[in-house]
Amino acid sequence: MPRIREYRPKLIKIGDNKSASVALILRNLDTDPEMFFIQRAENKNDPWSGQIAFPGGNCDRWDEDIAATARRETDEEVGIRLPANALLGRLDDQPGRNNNRDISLIISCFVFNLDSPQVVSHSPEVGDSFWIKVDDLLHPPALSAQIQYQTVCAEKPYPGIQFRSGKVLWGLTYRFVKMFLDAIDS
């Protein structure tokens, strides 16, 4: 994925906002690249309950930097340890949103390569995890279908991808995936 190393992300100044980061994890780069996803556990107190996502979370004051946040959160949520040298690149920062409203949060997405198998162990925040072939994401009809996903909190539907399993990729994670695919397929 040399193109992702060359990508120049648009960064948002944090200012008074909180910061968070997620890890877009790839494996099998030399053969048949795959991307790692989690499905958040169902929890009535979680505004993103049950959604497809990347592992990640809020920056803590002891994190060395925002990329370290993505590595720490990935280890805490799914037990995958990402060394700093596994970092391939970064995507454009995105403003956080909840129920179709901006919140005081800037989310960064870091792209990592997992070059050796690791056992995944879910924290209580994670209901499921799975790998999807990058080629299937580039050509969604082979995977399932490009859809317009309607949520209860929005007037109009969001673009998304429905996997064969019925799970739907939409929202922030969809935007990061689309940005990544555009970067490597340009």
Q: Which two tokens stand for residue 53?
A: 């996502």
Each residue's pLDDT tens digit, 55-88: 999 999 999 999 999 999 999 999 999 999 999 9
Position with higher pLDDT, 141 vs 163: 163
Binned at pLDDT 50, 70 and 90, residue 2 comes out as low
CA–CA gap between residue 169 and residue 7 (Å, rounded): 23
CA–CA gap between residue 58 and residue 97 (Å, rounded): 14
Each residue's pLDDT tens digit, 30-59: 999 999 999 999 887 766 678 899 999 999
Residue ranges of domains in the chain, CATH in brackets: 2-137+170-185 (3.90.79.10)
Per-residue confidence (pLDDT) for residue 89, from 0 to 100? 96
CB 113 within 8 A of CB 88: yes
CA–CA gap between residue 1 and residue 71 (Å, rounded): 20
Q: Is the pLDDT of residue 92 over 50?
A: yes
3-state secondary structure of 43: coil
